[in-house]
Structure formats: structure tokens, C-alpha cells
């Protein structure tokens, strides 16, 4: 497979060749668990799950590492605000650890519904305090960080000449833009907290050589990526809103702490907007996944997200979702009505169908162009609906099912009951044929009529017998 991926580091599509042949190491920034998962989470994690599935489909072994931020993410991403989890704990009057655990469960529950595979390694910031302290100490020892009188440790951004290179934000620009939130003890506004001193009111705090405190947000990803994937690894993913400052900070501290380059590819999914407005919890227009998934089949939402290329802005509308529902039902009906045959020998190749599959794979390999890939599946469906060749229909149904389930990650849940159902109907069709051969028409008609009574119609033709289930 020749996969091209858009690399935010170079701002162009590049051939992706993994560091270790046949294996892919991916780190994707996970959620900060202080609130309900929303549509933005769904978009990001469905994107990277689909990338992972595409690699795995093509025979790669993927190590997918994703963190859970359960401490240190400051409100507004600035260093003198309050920890988001601590803040929510005060609102709900429960322990911050309980807050993190509660929303982590909500997060995984929503992702399970969307059929997002669990990470190979799911790691929490609070479980890596020792490694975090180690990396901070290394940065202090090398003179890339400094400790202030208040007990905070900051990364000295002027020590990293490439800061802002990916996002195109130069230090001068950011200096003029963000004066308002400067913490009093920083040398420079862009310096970011590696360790924050914690007072008695802060429950989540740990002893360290720098004093009692808790880690900053950016350092956790550098530490966990290093621990599980090594200093240099294949792909770092996340939402585009993480590119600056979060990923720039990760690059700066990892490069200087490890004396080598960090992720080889940075892949960013774009934002979700609602009526052209950025979606956000603080903006009050955030769409909560639990509500959305109670109204729509998770498969439909997943397909809707994949209908748009991950690098374009997705303007969410319920009307769009309803249209996707129609497409989804067409796929589902076709597969359901044609995929019953368990006899794989019947499946011979059909070049026009194979061509669609090849185009699908090529679109996916071209920077994960899921929207173009979907158009090839629709083309296949069209061929399937036109042809009167039952074998070709079955052939198409089996390919659609394979690609939709294993690459697009749809559950197509009818299969769970329908597989058994189909097998039983298959047996009944064979029995009926036998009775007909033996001229026992009373029994063969009985099978046909009884099936009809429960909404299963048998159609006899020269090629054999097919059936249709009435909805």
C-alpha cells in the first residue's frame, strides 16, 4: 500500500513509510475528562480509528496510544487559570479523581457505540507522574527550563528556535497577541508550565524535587508518547485546535529533552462548526454525543463524519445527518437482501465491481479521502441494484459489508441476528428444494407459505431461490 498522508509539519502530502516495516506507532491526544463527550470528540477519534483500521486492513500492526488527561489541563489553556477537572469537582461537589473517572466512562461508552476501537494503550497523566518529573528534571538540568520563586517550573521557549514552525506562529506574533493572561512569574508569555505549585486546596498534587504540585498539560503527552512509542515515532494525531500551542509545546520539550526528533508525521483533523460557528463547551453550542446517539444510529453518525474529508471543516446539520441515514439504509438493505449465501464458491470476480473496490482503496490511501471513497461504494451499490445477476449482487454485498465494517468501522448490526436468521432460512430453502425433488409439494408449499406468513418471501428463478424480508 502506498499511503500518502498530509503532514502538518511540512504542510504537504507525503508518502508514509513507517519506521519499522509493517508496524505503525500512533499517538493521539485523548480527551480531558471533565465533561460529556461531544461531537468534536467523535470527529477526531472516528478519524484516527479509521486510519488505524485502514492500516490494519492492509496488514500493518498498529500500536495506538491515547492518553486520558486527568490532571493539569488549565481552563482556557493558560497557565494561571484553574485546572478543568478541579473546577468541575467543585461544581459537582465530588472528588476530582471521581470526576475524571466518571467522564472517562462516558467517553469510552460513547466511543464504543461509535465502534471506535479501544486504544492499544490507554494511559493517564496521573499514572505517569514519576516519568513526568524525570523529563522536567532533564529539561531543568539542560537549562531549557527554569524554576520560579513561587515553585512553578516553566519551559523557556526562547531555547527552542523552531517553536511555532508547524502552526506558522512566530514568537513575535504570539507575544503581541496574548499579553492578557501572562502569569506573573514567567520570563516570557509563551513559556509554558511544566510543573505547577499546588496549594492546600488542590487535592491532586504530588511531591517532587520542585515542590508539591501537579504537571502542566503539554508534558504528559511528550512523556507518554516517549514511554510507549519511543523518542521518535510515526504519527502524532489530534484535533487542529491542538496544533497550537499544545503540539508545538510537545515538539519543543520532547526534541530538547530527547536530543532527537519527535513525531515524523503530525496529522490533524479539522473542526466541527454549527451553522458556521465554532463549536465549543464555553460557547454553549456544543452537541453532546449522548443526546445525539439516543436519536440516531451510531453507524449513521459515523458515516456522516466520514462523508466529509477529515481536513475540511464539517458544518453540522441534522438535515445532513438525515440524508446520511437514507444512504446508510440503502447499504443496509442491499447487504441484508443479498448477503445470505454462505457458499463462497459462488463468488466469482466481476471486473467493474473490482474496479470500484480498487478506487475505494486508492481514495483511502490518498490522505484518507473517505468522502471520495464513499462515492465508489455508492457506485458499487448502483451496479448491484441494476444487475439481475444474483451472484453479482451477492459479490457486491460481500465487498460492501467487508469495507463498510472493517475500514469505515460501521457495525451494520443487523448481521448479529441476521447471520443466524439467514443460515436458518438457507436450511429451509434447501429442505424445500429436496421436498420438491421428491414431489412432496404439500411440504414444500407449507415451508414457502409459513415463511410468507412471518414476512419472508421466497422467489424462485432459474439461478435458484432468493428471499426478501419485509420490514
Question: By the criterion CB under 5 A, which residues form the site for Zn ion?
Answer: 29, 221
Give min distance, CB of 221 to Zn ion, in A: 3
Compare residues 221 and 229 and give the one whose CB is closer to Zn ion: 221
Compare residues 29 and 335 and give the one whose CB is closer to Zn ion: 29
Rounded CA-CA distance 344/311 in Å is 39
Give min distance, CB of 222 to Zn ion, in A: 8
C-alpha distance from residue 264 to each of 16, 167, 220, 311, 369 (Å): 10, 15, 19, 18, 21
C-beta separation of 146 from 189 below 8 A: no
Give min distance, CB of 29 to Zn ion, in A: 3
Compare residues 263 and 301 and give the one whose CB is closer to Zn ion: 263
Compare residues 29 and 89 and give the one whose CB is closer to Zn ion: 29
Give min distance, CB of 281 to Zn ion, in A: 18
Rounded CA-CA distance 300/291 in Å is 14
Report cis status (omega within 30 of 0) of the bond before 148: no
C-beta separation of 371 from 315 below 8 A: no
Compare residues 157 and 300 and give the one whose CB is closer to Zn ion: 157
Rounded CA-CA distance 312/104 in Å is 28
Compare residues 68 and 381 and give the one whose CB is closer to Zn ion: 68
C-beta separation of 125 from 70 below 8 A: yes
Give min distance, CB of 246 to Zn ion, in A: 5
Enumerate residues 6+ apart whose C-beta is below 8 A from 336. Answer: 414, 418, 469
Give min distance, CB of 23 to Zn ion, in A: 22
C-beta separation of 380 from 400 below 8 A: yes
Give min distance, CB of 44 to Zn ion, in A: 11
Give min distance, CB of 204 to Zn ion, in A: 18
Nearest residue to 197 (alpha-carbon basis) of 209, 211, 186, 187:
211
Compare residues 268 and 394 and give the one whose CB is closer to Zn ion: 268
* The three three-digit cell numbers of residue 300, written as one number: 449513521
Compare residues 38 and 268 and give the one whose CB is closer to Zn ion: 268
DSSP category for residue 295 = H
DSSP category for residue 245 = I
> What spatial distance separates the first Cα and last Cα of the chain, rounded to whole Å?
41
Rounded CA-CA distance 44/269 in Å is 6
Give min distance, CB of 306 to Zn ion, in A: 24
Nearest residue to 272 (alpha-carbon basis) of 236, 321, 319, 239:
239
Length of the chain: 471
Give min distance, CB of 43 to Zn ion, in A: 16
Give min distance, CB of 67 to Zn ion, in A: 6
* The three three-digit cell numbers of residue 13, written as one number: 502530502
Compare residues 219 and 397 and give the one whose CB is closer to Zn ion: 219
Compare residues 196 and 246 and give the one whose CB is closer to Zn ion: 246
Enumerate residues 6+ apart whose C-beta is below 8 A from 259. Answer: none
Rounded CA-CA distance 299/119 in Å is 20
C-beta separation of 37 from 108 below 8 A: no
Compare residues 205 and 268 and give the one whose CB is closer to Zn ion: 268
DSSP category for residue 118 = P
Amino acid at each position: 500500500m502506498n499511503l500518502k498522508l498530509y503532514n502538518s509539519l511540512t504542510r504537504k502530502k507525503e508518502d508514509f513509510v513507517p519506521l519499522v516495516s509493517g508496524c505503525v506507532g500512533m499517538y493521539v491526544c485523548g480527551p480531558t475528562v471533565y465533561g460529556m463527550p461531544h461531537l468534536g470528540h467523535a470527529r477526531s477519534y472516528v478519524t484516527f480509528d479509521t486510519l488505524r483500521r485502514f492500516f490494519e486492513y492492509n496488514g500493518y500492526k498498529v500500536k495506538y496510544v491515547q492518553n486520558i488527561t486527568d490532571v493539569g489541563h488549565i481552563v482556557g489553556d493558560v497557565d494561571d487559570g484553574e485546572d478543568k477537572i478541579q473546577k468541575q469537582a467543585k461544581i459537582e461537589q465530588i472528588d476530582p479523581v471521581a470526576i475524571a473517572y466518571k467522564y472517562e466512562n462516558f467517553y469510552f461508552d460513547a466511543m464504543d457505540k461509535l465502534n471506535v476501537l479501544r486504544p492499544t494503550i490507554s494511559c493517564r497523566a496521573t499514572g505517569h507522574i514519576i516519568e513526568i518529573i524525570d523529563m522536567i528534571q532533564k529539561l531543568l538540568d539542560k537549562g531549557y527550563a527554569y524554576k520560579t520563586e513561587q515553585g512553578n517550573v516553566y519551559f523557556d521557549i526562547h531555547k527552542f528556535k523552531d517553536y511555532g514552525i508547524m502552526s506558522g506562529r512566530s514568537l513575535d506574533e504570539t507575544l503581541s497577541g496574548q499579553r492578557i493572561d501572562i502569569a506573573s512569574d514567567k520570563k516570557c508569555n509563551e513559556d509554558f508550565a511544566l510543573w505547577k505549585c499546588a496549594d492546600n486546596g488542590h487535592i491532586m498534587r504530588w511531591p517532587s524535587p520542585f515542590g508539591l504540585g501537579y504537571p502542566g498539560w503539554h508534558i504528559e503527552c511528550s512523556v507518554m508518547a516517549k514511554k510507549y512509542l519511543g523518542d521518535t515515532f510515526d504519527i502524532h494525531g489530534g484535533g487542529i485546535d491542538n496544533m497550537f500551542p499544545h503540539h508545538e509545546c510537545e515538539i519543543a520539550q520532547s526534541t530538547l529533552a530527547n536530543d532527537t526528533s519527535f513525531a515524523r508525521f503530525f496529522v490533524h483533523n479539522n473542526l466541527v462548526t454549527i451553522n458556521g460557528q465554532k463549536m465549543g463547551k464555553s460557547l454553549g453550542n456544543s452537541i453532546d454525543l449522548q443526546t445525539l446517539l439516543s436519536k440516531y444510529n451510531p453507524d449513521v453518525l459515523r458515516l456522516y463524519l466520514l462523508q466529509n474529508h477529515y481536513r475540511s471543516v464539517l458544518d453540522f446539520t441534522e438535515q445532513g445527518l438525515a440524508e446520511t441515514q437514507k444512504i446508510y439504509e440503502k447499504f443496509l438493505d442491499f447487504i441484508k437482501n443479498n448477503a445470505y449465501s454462505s457458499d463462497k464458491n459462488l463468488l466469482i470476480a466481476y471486473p467493474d465491481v473490482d474496479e470500484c473496490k480498487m478506487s475505494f482503496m486508492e481514495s483511502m490511501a490518498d490522505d484518507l479521502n473517505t468522502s471520495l471513497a464513499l462515492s465508489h461504494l455508492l457506485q458499487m451499490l448502483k451496479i448491484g441494484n441494476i444487475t439481475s445477476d444474483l451472484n453479482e449482487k451477492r459479490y457486491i454485498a460481500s465487498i460492501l459489508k467487508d469495507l463498510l465494517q472493517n475500514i469505515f468501522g460501521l457495525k451494520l448490526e443487523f448481521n448479529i441476528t441476521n447471520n443466524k436468521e439467514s443460515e436458518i432460512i438457507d436450511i429451509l430453502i434447501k429442505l424445500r428444494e429436496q421436498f420438491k425433488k421428491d414431489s412432496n409439494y404439500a411440504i414444500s408449499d407449507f415451508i414457502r407459505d409459513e415463511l410468507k406468513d412471518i414476512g419472508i418471501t421466497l422467489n424462485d428463478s432459474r439461478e435458484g431461490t432468493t428471499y426478501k424480508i419485509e420490514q
